[in-house]
Amino acid sequence: MAFWDNLKSKTTEMNGQLKTKAKQFANKDFANASMAMCALIAAADGKIDPSERSKTAGLIMSNDVLSVFAPDDLRQKFDFYCDKLDRDYDFGKVEAVSAISRLKPKQDQARAVVQIGIIIGGADGDFDDDERQAVKDACFAVGIAPAEFDL
């Protein structure tokens, strides 16, 4: 339980930090990378279950940080990445990680996307190894050490 309590505390802290920066992140690359990250979390085990896709979409729509974007735009971007991952997981993963890597020169936004991945991954109370690996992949794509996020 200590791990879960620690994760819950960290995600609450991360969400608070992200809320204060949300408006400055309102750009296309950040929106794309955020939805790519969310799709990677939904597909972390190699497939996207329809209920998991729906649950993740609900978490996206209720996330304060992402509220600076039009919900329909987010949904379209999330569906785009999920569809790519569904059709061909390996190719879809390359495309999603590529979208995230575009934030490498914008380290504050890259960190925010990693934090969104952690928040979405831990929202159900089980930040499993596959979800952790998806977040690690995002860290590597933007040049951030996963250890910075206790991964």
Could you give all domains of the chain from N- to C-terminal order, each with its CATH number? 2-145 (1.10.3680)
Locus of tokens 């929202």 = 123
Find all residues with CB under 8 Å of 9, minimum gap 6, and list them.
Answer: none
Q: What is the pLDDT of residues 100-145, one digit of tens each?
A: 999 999 998 999 899 889 988 887 778 889 999 999 999 999 999 9
| pTM of this structure | 0.83
Locus of tokens 């206790």 = 150
Q: What is the pLDDT of residues 54-96, one digit of tens each?
A: 888 888 888 777 888 888 899 999 999 999 999 999 999 999 9
Q: Please report how the helices 28-42 and 107-122 are oriented relative to each other, as an axis angle in degrees rounded to 10.
A: 30
Helices of type H across the chain: 2-21, 28-42, 50-62, 71-87, 89-101, 107-122, 129-142
